[in-house]
Amino acid sequence: MSQVPCLTTTGALVMVPADEVTFGVAVYGILVENERVLLRRHPETGLWEPPGGRLFGRQAPEQGVRSLFRAQTGLVCDPVLRLLLESQHRLDEQGQAWELTVITYQLQRTRGSTITAPAGGGEQPLWIPLDELQREQMQTGYDAIQIARRETPGGFLFPTVE
């Protein structure tokens, strides 16, 4: 039987029988304003990650990133650019192996939207200065942030919000 390498949330490599891998989609949103990116702490590792997560059911990725971002930050945002599409093999907290199609979007805040406490509890997301962000501080999303900085003239597609 063939084995598939999967990463745990702490970065350990675990070999899993191929027939035990479930397919899914995960989405994350990158919101940058005033040279800062809005991130949250991963609950297990404490590393930074953009708001988002795995989709359930038949939700469209664009709708999923809106819903997850709003639930985790209180902000209403729209996806304006797909930054990164990648395949990842992960082992979740319950020991389920996943082959995930991970889509990371650049988001734009809807006017008047303000950060509120995350639905269902959890830590409040924080604005992290882009020039202080380093790969080893991140659970996921670092490459998407760097792609956005490199591909968009002036850093990002949308103006800063005061």
Residue-level pLDDT at 159: 39
- Which superfamily, per CATH, for 24-85+99-151? Nucleoside Triphosphate Pyrophosphohydrolase (3.90.79.10)
* Distance of alpha carbon 71 from the chain centroid: 13
Which helix or strand (DSSP H or E) is residue 54 part of? Answer: strand 52-54
Q: In angstroms, what CA-CA distances link 61 with 79, 96, 130, 143?
A: 10, 21, 26, 19
Question: What's this model's pTM, rounded to 2 decimal places?
Answer: 0.86
What is the average per-residue pLDDT within 75-100?
93
What is the distance between the alpha carbons of residues 73 and 125, in angstroms, rounded to a whole number? 6
Length of the chain: 162
Q: What is the pLDDT of residues 34-74, one digit of tens each?
A: 889 999 999 889 999 999 999 988 899 999 999 999 999 98
Residue-level pLDDT at 153: 47
pLDDT tops 50 at residue 8: yes
